[in-house]
Structure 1
């Protein structure tokens, strides 16, 4: 859909939710090929008329350039021409529903007995001017009382676990495979230091994803080719009975040439595997049993060798948190061409595929910058991610939780000076809620 049409729908969403009867336009949108029957069934499952209208408008924005004019035609055909005219005019946002007019209460005079108030006096000589008595509203019978708003008073249904327009299906047991690659001890020839504290990260995430009902597989100290082998083996598995797949990589990292996902992670022998090749193993073309299912990658590694000293802000804007006294980085200088993995060395790792869908890559740091790790407590990123998942997975979706992680890590300082900013490349199409039980 064109950006200007999306903007019109967004500006008038309140009008549409208030006034649109979606049941009238379903057949027209189906006949014009804008929605499929499955999509219409999903919208109907949203609940009330208002909820269906809200979801229809959101989904309409994703349905291509024909969707907006087709929607206007459907509105006119079903007697909702006023809505069509509003949208076609380009975006007035005044509410179509007439405002409620509050009745004005006018006091009525109540005259006294005419025999007793001649000459403006009562029989006792008091002033007999008419008294103003305000009207009191009468109690309406029950059958004419206004009915409560169905959207406001209807109990909220529990969060849907099945696959829907709004969220991924995440109710398989186990939910999926979680592969953790934990590189700690590096060959002397690699010139890479031991990653003390990484075992702490690994233990935390192993327990965390087990609690989220994943089958967790941990591999330690893998060389570059072994990393590729484990990813290739994971891609060749049958994931048909699972709803999701997770890959966690804890290693040294560096910059690398890329056209999608930045960065690369090192094997313990030194050479690196670009993140974009790591994701390619599990995309919909190379792993058919994970098609349309979320594939999550968590990368605790440096994105380069730059150290971020941040910028000064008001003390009211952040709550600074000191890092550990033994903070280290996971960086080495920018990799040379000899360190980079050839894009064409394996059929499972070709880089000429379209940008994959249903993939999220969460990085511990901004591309080009170092990632900090306490040698005793583990990395800032993993420690924060583990705690946020523990506290919020019951109620929040993954992207929301990652924003919390970003915010909290950004307020930590190493040696009272250096900062770190995590971030994500998000190609998920729906909300993702982990399986989590209240403790």
Structure 2
């Protein structure tokens, strides 16, 4: 497919996934040679109407140059005019040229000889038909188009995508620490309840069982994580842990950073992830474990660097921006949970884990007391707008980009990031 047509499909993918009725298109696309029967069957088996629409649009981009105009024609024929007009708006005009049937070269017709009655007894001359020309001898013929091959498309239960069709999809634990013990010398985190409410609604919409725990001490955080690891996750496809708290930088061997309990005692992120790894939670082996950390990774403030005006759209935070930073701790608690080899597992212990941080390790994370943190606000919106069409890692990259455009007090910047040990693409369930 031409690059300009691919860009039109990508730009309108969200609307196509929402409004396209693939079932009406299958016969026409098959008849016109855009897809084979096997390809149609795989698209049908990809899941819901939205899943089929998403897969159809993706596969369409891999077909030949005539796929786009034929797709427009099929939309018109099946009454999906609004989508056809949407794709045609601003697109170069396209004309469908039916492939010319191959020209058949026939042998020249020669008149039979006229036989005189006087020659009737003479030996008959046998008329041998002239053989059709071989393909190499044909002239002025239209060559048959070469077949278009496409790589195997990802399936929700394939080697390329995690299975994410259990209902409910899995457990989601949100720990929201807002009010800290005055003796901890940690300020209350005004605005964190806004973050918590957004994420609770969002992950319920993504078909997770959401449990919220507020204002937990360090030992209570450990207790909740231990209880989550002891649940039977065999009927679920995923598990999510969200930490909203103050944070600090600690020494580590795998995942940086730590989050604080309301008593001022911290728990390293590495310790948090270990509860759900392949060794300590067998029923989650091979399944994605997702951790979202809204907390500072340290006390350093990033003032950014100067770029061309064309590369950035300035966005300024409010006067009430606060950080969740605590100075770096050298506590050995970050190594208090050993990572012993798991002889029973066939995958590395930290596999299928993704930890998304609101900020780069060592730097502060900004939170608006009126609208919540930059990271959660952006994450929630990107999930709402893009979960039906994009995988998780792609969406986190979108979050990184948008948060990086913000400025606190017109000066300070923030750069989210993640430690990704997932082995496959992850698509969340979305409501049709």
**TM-score scaled by length of structure 1:** 0.63
Matched-pair contact (CA < 8 Å) for 2:258–2:268? yes
1:40-98, CA deviations, whole angstroms, 9 ceiling, x for partnerless residues? xx9xx999xxx9xx9xxxxxxxxxxxxxxxxxxxxxxxxxxxxxxxxxxxxxxxxxxxx
Closer/same/farther in 2, CA of residues 139 and 205 from structure 1, 3 Å limit: farther
Match of 2:382 among 364, 378, 388: 388
Measured in 2, the distance between the counterparts of 1:195 and 1:213 equals: 28
**Residue 217 of structure 1 aligns with which residue?**
211
Task: Give matches, 1:158-237, under 5 Å.
Answer: 160-162=155-157, 164-237=158-231
Measured in 2, the distance between the counterparts of 1:254 and 1:430 equals: 30
- Give 5+ residue unaligned stretches, structure 2: 1-41, 47-54, 63-137, 342-347
Q: Over aligned residues, Cα RMSD in angstroms?
A: 2.7
Q: Which has the higher contact order (CA 8 A, sep 6+)?
A: 2
Task: Give matches, 1:277-292, under 5 Å.
Answer: 277-292=271-286
1:16-56, CA deviations, whole angstroms, 9 ceiling, x for partnerless residues? xxxxxxxxxxxxxxxxxxxxxxxxxx9xx999xxx9xx9xx
Match of 2:254 among 257, 260, 264: 260
Measured in 2, the distance between the counterparts of 1:231 and 1:360 equals: 16
**Residue 312 of structure 2 aligns with which residue?**
318
Matched-pair contact (CA < 8 Å) for 1:168–1:293? yes
Measured in 1, the distance between the counterparts of 2:247 and 2:274 equals: 18
Measured in 2, the distance between the counterparts of 1:342 and 1:172 equals: 34
Closer/same/farther in 2, CA of residues 367 and 342 from structure 1, 3 Å limit: closer
Matched-pair contact (CA < 8 Å) for 2:229–2:281? yes
Closer/same/farther in 2, CA of residues 408 and 323 from structure 1, 3 Å limit: same
**Residue 350 of structure 1 aligns with which residue?**
338
Q: How far off its partner does 1:145 sit? A: 6.0
**Residue 70 of structure 2 aligns with which residue?**
none
Q: How far off its partner does 1:341 sit? A: 2.9
Q: How far off its partner does 1:320 sit? A: 1.3
Measured in 2, the distance between the counterparts of 1:403 and 1:360 equals: 13
**Residue 235 of structure 2 aligns with which residue?**
241
Is 1:401 paired with 2:395? Answer: yes
Q: Number of matched residues?
A: 295
- Give 5+ residue unaligned stretches, structure 1: 1-41, 55-136
1:256-280, CA deviations, whole angstroms, 9 ceiling, x for partnerless residues? 1100000000000001000001000
Q: Secondary structure at the match of 1:400?
A: helix
Measured in 2, the distance between the counterparts of 1:166 and 1:426 equals: 15
Matched-pair contact (CA < 8 Å) for 1:343–1:351? no
Measured in 2, the distance between the counterparts of 1:332 and 1:221 equals: 17
Task: Give matches, 1:64-79, under 5 Å.
Answer: none
Is 1:328 paired with 2:322? Answer: yes
**Residue 341 of structure 1 aligns with which residue?**
333
Measured in 1, the distance between the counterparts of 2:145 and 2:334 equals: 67
Q: How far off its partner does 1:324 sit? A: 2.0
Measured in 1, the distance between the counterparts of 2:250 and 2:335 equals: 12
1:203-249, CA deviations, whole angstroms, 9 ceiling, x for partnerless residues? 00000000110000100000000000000000011000000000000
Match of 1:146 among 137, 144, 147: 144
Q: Secondary structure at the match of 2:363?
A: coil
Q: How far off its partner does 1:332 sit? A: 1.2
Matched-pair contact (CA < 8 Å) for 2:248–2:297? yes
Measured in 2, the distance between the counterparts of 1:145 and 1:336 equals: 72
Q: Secondary structure at the match of 1:218?
A: strand
Q: How far off its partner does 1:437 sit? A: 2.9
